[in-house]
Amino acid sequence: MVKSGYKRKTFAASEDLLNQLSTIAESKGLSLYSLINQVFTLAIRAEELNVNLEKTVDESDVLEQAKDSGFILIPEGLWREAIEEIHLKDESWASRKGFEAGEWLAKRCTSKSLKDPLGTFLFNLERSLWNIPEFNVKREEKRFFVRLVSPRLSKTHATLIGSMLEGALHAFGYAVTSRDFSAGTAWLLAEKEGDGTNIE
């Protein structure tokens, strides 16, 4: 008996989809058979990695944006330990560096020809903070409220992210009128000042 691995099997698929795949195969110098083999191998790989194919493109966009914005991926456990260690030596580092980082990230957005640089910044930041389950933004014409909630958020981490938001809002022309950075949550309320951004 021939093992199934050496046999071909047939199945029926939408002619419309196959025509599209056939066009792509031709453009790549492949047969439709080869391309479908690759597609199936990809789908099996996604299953092995427990990754949703549909979300993969969206998630890759998050990382591309993060990469372009000057972020980097590091092990979370190491990150959490490192920030606390620095905090023991310098309690002001999180608010200081966070603010600077936020200003810089905001300036990146405003330097591009974006229709809504603040909206873009917040959208990308929310997607980057994938381990923060709650990220709420309430934006009115001249007022801005943002809140993050996560049971894993230490006070230092909350201060860092909150200060980053504060620095960004400052660059976008907002003044923070009240804030709270605590273990588990960070929120701030800001109001627009002047007519424009604070970009120098």
Partner 1 sequence: MAPILSKERRDKQLIFVPGHLVDEIRDASYKAGKPFNVFVEEVFHQVLGSLSLGYSLEQFTRLLEVAHTQRLSMTLIPLEVLSYLTGKADQAELQAKWFEAGEWYGKYLCEKFQNPVQALKRLLEATRWDLDEIDVEEEDLVARFRCVSAILSLEETESLLKFIEGAMGSLGYRTEKNDHVKGIILLHFRHSKPTNRKGDT
Return the range that interacts with partner 1 (CB under 8 A); candidates 80-88, 112-120, 171-179, 187-195: 80-88
CB of 68 to partner 1, least distance (A): 10
Return the range that interacts with partner 1 (CB under 8 A); candidates 81-89, 115-123, 136-144, 188-196: 81-89
CB of 187 to partner 1, least distance (A): 21
Tell me whether residue 85 or residue 180 sits nearer to partner 1 (CB atom).
Answer: 85
Phi, psi of 186 (to 5 degrees): -145, 130
Cβ atoms of 159 and 181 within 8 Å: the answer is yes
Tell me whether residue 84 or residue 191 sits nearer to partner 1 (CB atom).
Answer: 84
CB of 87 to partner 1, least distance (A): 10
Q: d(Cα 181, Cα 165) in Å, to the nearest integer?
A: 11
Site for partner 1 in 2-61 (CB under 8 A): 4-18, 20-21, 24, 28, 32-33, 35-47, 49-57, 59-60
Q: Note whether 149 binds partner 1 by CB under 8 A.
A: no
Q: Note whether 111 binds partner 1 by CB under 8 A.
A: no
Strand partners, 186: 148, 181
Cβ atoms of 193 and 175 within 8 Å: the answer is yes
Return the range that interacts with partner 1 (CB under 8 A); candidates 100-108, 109-117, 179-187, 191-199: 100-108
Cβ atoms of 123 and 57 within 8 Å: the answer is no
| Tokens matching residue 191 | 């109001």
Q: d(Cα 46, Cα 128) in Å, to the nearest integer?
A: 22
Q: Note whether 63 binds partner 1 by CB under 8 A.
A: yes
Q: d(Cα 46, Cα 71) in Å, to the nearest integer?
A: 25
Q: d(Cα 200, Cα 197) in Å, to the nearest integer?
A: 9
Residues binding partner 1: what is the number (CB under 8 A)? Answer: 78
